[in-house]
Amino acid sequence: MNYHYSTPKEEPSTLANGRLHLKVCGMKHNTAEIASLQPDYLGFIFYDKSERNFKGDLAPVPHKIKKVGVFVNAGIQTVLQRIEDYNLLLVQLHGNESPEYCNELKSKAKQIQIIKVFSVKDAFDFAVLEPYESVCDFFLFDTKGKLPGGNGYAFDWSVLKNYPSTKPYFLSGGIGLEDIDNIKEFTQRPEAKYCHAIDVNSKFEIEPGLKNTADVKAFKELLNKIHIQ
């Protein structure tokens, strides 16, 4: 690596503890059905250019499932309003939000956990993570594509072999049921140590925002069988 990045010394308390968590994102039409499968996180997209943009009333979600709001360069006031409207516990920042933005959000919504998204193509300069170390709780690695998110295809996860941080991260980008063996293989690698959760979205859809319940169920069962070191 040709940059300086001082690895934080503290081990985070949010590591996967032997299993990978599951986040099902882009919920819109069948939230209650997917909630009954008890994923760890359910994600709702608040971005009006997305086909999965969430509006209106939200079906009751058991407290155990953490609700994540996904935003793309939204104003802080808008984010705060959605946190209040939908009792969000985490926000996923999927645009070019700066460390200062994250800091301001943290100071105004102290209980909220922040997931900062980074889009990966063939290579990735991990130095960009450093200013976010102290202002967010998780990183999320998604595939760089035409859209800010929901592009539906994976990046080369071996890029993460240079992961210099101890911050837990979500692995995302076009992950489908057919990737379960790849995930299993990934968990054998040292870079998987800080992988907290697998994030799925468009590969589990019948149409945008309508998830395929049988596929999510099958994926969750297979994911639960993967034990990480």
Ligand X SMILES: O=C(O)c1ccccc1N[C@@H]1O[C@H](COP(=O)(O)O)[C@@H](O)[C@H]1O
For the four alpha carbons of 44, 47, 51 and 57, in that order, the dihedral sign comes to: positive
Number of residues near ligand X (by CB under 6 A)? 25
Compare residues 168 and 174 and give the one whose CB is closer to ligand X: 174
User: Scanning residues 126 to 145, which ones bind ligand X (CB under 6 A)?
Assistant: 142
Taking the CA of residue 113 as centre, how many other CA atoms within 13 Å lie in the half-sphere pointing to its CB? 15
Q: What does the H/E/C string look like for 2-64? A: CCCCCCCCCCCCCCCCCECEEEECCCCCCHHHHHCCCCCEEEEEECCCCCCECCCCCCCCCCC
Q: Is 45 in the site for ligand X (CB under 6 A)?
A: yes
Give the residue carrying structure tokens 């993967």.
226
Q: Closer to ligand X by CB, 47 or 124: give it.
A: 47
Separation between Cα atoms, residue 56 and residue 38, nearest integer Å: 22
Q: What is the dihedral of CA 26, 31, 36, 40, to 10 degrees?
A: 30
Question: Residue 133 CB, nearest distance to ligand X (Å)?
Answer: 21
- Nearest to ligand X of 5, 118 (CB atom): 118
Q: Name the segment binding ligand X (CB under 6 A); options: 12-20, 34-42, 55-63, 194-202.
A: 194-202
Least spacing, CB of residue 145 vs ligand X, in Å: 8
Residue 202, classified by CB atoms within 10 Å of its CB into exposed (0-12), middle (13-18) or buried (19+), is buried
* Distance of closest approach, residue 116 Cβ to ligand X, in angstroms: 12
CA neighbor of 187 nearest in space, from 13, 20, 17: 20
Neighbours of 221 (CB within 10 A): 11
Phi and psi angles of residue 171, each rounded to the nearest 5 degrees, phi first: -100, 125
* Interface residue with ligand X, options 160, 173, 211, 216 (CB under 6 A): 173
Is 26 or 168 the residue whose CB approaches ligand X more closely? 26
Asked if 201 interacts with ligand X (CB under 6 A), we say yes
Output 8 or 95, the one with its CB closest to ligand X.
95
40 binds ligand X (CB under 6 A): no
The mark string for 8-27 relative to ligand X (x by CB under 6 A, - otherwise) is -----------------xx-
The binding site for ligand X (CB under 6 A) comprises 25-26, 43, 45, 47, 50, 52, 70, 72, 94, 142, 148-152, 172-175, 199-203
